[in-house]
Amino acid sequence: MNEKRQKFFSAVVFFATVFVLQGCDQFEKLSEYFSPQQPAATSSATQATGTEKAAPGLKEQDLPQNVLAKVGNWTITLDEFRQRLEALKEVIPAEYDVNDAQNKKFILDELIRQELLVQEAERRGLDKDKDVAMALQEFRRTLLVRQLAEQVAAATPQATADEARAYYDENQMAFTEWRLREIVVPDEQEAKGILIELLQGADFEAMAKERSKGKTAAKGGDLGMVTEFDFPQREQAVATLNAGDLSSIFQGPEGFYIVKVEEKKTQDFSAIKDEIVSGLTLLKQQEAIMALISTLEEKTPVVKNETLLKD
């Protein structure tokens, strides 16, 4: 790897640290990378002099078995380092192989640099700073909540194919799209007369251009392909219709409507089964978490003084 690429890779590792501190979406995984199992410690001599030196004459062969590096009293084992490499894969660009020997050296060096800065920050008392302490506390709370949510989700049974099928059958509208035309007039009696003509064989498109007062009149009432309805009365009128069917008259925002279904497409269950199973599983997980919250609220005293919110 040339020098330019080496510097870039080192920068990527560094900025991964910054993203974690700023609340990157991957922070729960990266927290393993940036939180060694053994906390940094400083001796009384360090506190007095402001420096931390390795034991005189300490060499690579003097490190305990499986310890990859030592910075002052902080150590990182080979197993811990491998865990951090796995976490880094989530944020490092794919072209950088974290298992490459040269890249692993860069990552280890970055960890060491970070630990040197951490120990210096602690020596200066920055870990006692109010804003830092609050940020760490919020990070801890968020991480614990996410870990608990993941634990609850993992313990929740997945939705079954039968449940997915039942949901599909009960919610056909959610998996259907329609090509619709409309005729809109301000008077119900006029709408009734138009409907009679349509039932007697009048062309819907021509009738819409001639008689409709709606915004789509110039297009022969064409609404295009519809997957979501702009008002509930239209949805109710279309729900039971098939291609070629006319709706009855219904009232809406612009007057009285008649709708024709030109085309109707319903997604095949086999094509979306996995998607429905995933969605139902997520719903079960959310319900399990809400149930846990309800249980906790029942057995944990919670008192609120909402009058203070008015100040």
Measure the CA–CA gap between 222 and 215, rounded to whole angstroms.
Answer: 10
pLDDT in tens, 114-135: 999 999 999 999 989 999 999 9
Please say whether the beta carbons of 2 and 102 come within 8 A: no
pLDDT band at 65 (very low <50, low <70, confident <90, very high): confident
CATH code at position 219: 3.10.50.40
Measure the CA–CA gap between 26 and 146, rounded to whole angstroms.
Answer: 11
302 domain-assigned: no
- 67 and 125 together in one domain: yes
- 93 and 203 together in one domain: no
User: What is the distance of C-alpha 91 from the center of its chain?
Assistant: 16
Domain count, the chain: 2
62 domain-assigned: yes
- Mean pLDDT of the region 272-285: 96
218 domain-assigned: yes
- Mean pLDDT of the region 74-79: 91
287 domain-assigned: no
260 domain-assigned: yes
- 133 and 11 together in one domain: yes
- 43 and 130 together in one domain: yes
Estimate the crossing angle of helix 204-211 against helix 188-199, to 10 degrees.
150
- 122 and 250 together in one domain: no
- 233 and 185 together in one domain: yes
- 59 and 136 together in one domain: yes
Quick check: helix, strand or coil at residue 301?
coil
pLDDT band at 90 (very low <50, low <70, confident <90, very high): confident
- 122 and 15 together in one domain: yes
- 144 and 223 together in one domain: no
- 26 and 110 together in one domain: yes
- 90 and 128 together in one domain: yes
User: Among the three residues 148, 183, 217, which one is the final residue of a domain in this structure?
Assistant: 148
What global pTM score does this model have?
Answer: 0.63
Quick check: helix, strand or coil at residue 172?
helix
- Mean pLDDT of the region 78-106: 84
Residue ranges making up the domain that contains 42: 3-148
Measure the CA–CA gap between 214 and 184, rounded to whole angstroms.
Answer: 5
- Mean pLDDT of the region 4-12: 46
Give the pLDDT score at 56.
53
- 116 and 243 together in one domain: no
184 domain-assigned: yes
* Average per-residue pLDDT for the chain: 84
281 domain-assigned: no
102 domain-assigned: yes
